[in-house]
Amino acid sequence: MDKSTNISLMVESLSRIYHRLRKEVNGKLVNEGLSVSKMKILHLITTGKISATDIKNYMGFSSRTVVTVLDALEKEEMLKREQSKIDRRVKYVYITEKGKKKLQIAEQTHKIVLDRMFSSLSEIQLEKFNEICNALEAYQK
């Protein structure tokens, strides 16, 4: 096998691992009314003043998808929206206490699944994997 074939196989494997992980986490979060995407959005809005556009840019979703997810989270009282006092076109998104509690549950669930999935790797393997991920991400920027 040549180098490009090996890389292709590794990327396919990584993709399968990621989708299996995401499916498992989503399956466990559905009872909480959450998903990995909702969890990421809730986590993002805990960092400060965030608009739907900020979420769209961070998540790489379409505007329609962001609005749909925000509507669902707002309906479930996990977040609230407030119009900017400076720019009427902008609404900021804030996490509620209920959202914080759900996020905590989601993050614990996510950690349990990740810990189990990566438990077969040694510390050295985890460090190497982290280095590789960081190098690939740095190259993309």
Which residue is listed with tokens 């805990």?
46
The SS3 assignment for 91 reads strand
Can you give the pTM of this predicted structure?
0.79
Neighbours of 55 (CB within 10 A): 21
Q: What is the pLDDT of residue 104?
A: 95
- pLDDT tens column, 39-50: 999 999 998 889
- pLDDT tens column, 82-130: 988 888 888 899 999 999 999 999 999 999 999 999 999 999 999 999 9
Region 13-37 average pLDDT: 91
Q: What is the pLDDT of residue 115?
A: 94
Evaluate whether the domain defined by 3-140 bears CATH number 3.40.50.10470.
Answer: no
Q: Cα separation of 18 and 98, whole Å?
A: 28
Q: How confident is the model at residue 1 (pLDDT cuts 50, 70, 90)?
A: low
Is residue 91 within 8 A of residue 82, CB to CB? The reply is yes
Q: What are the residue ranges spanned by the domains of the chain? A: 3-140
Q: Cα separation of 95 and 72, whole Å?
A: 13
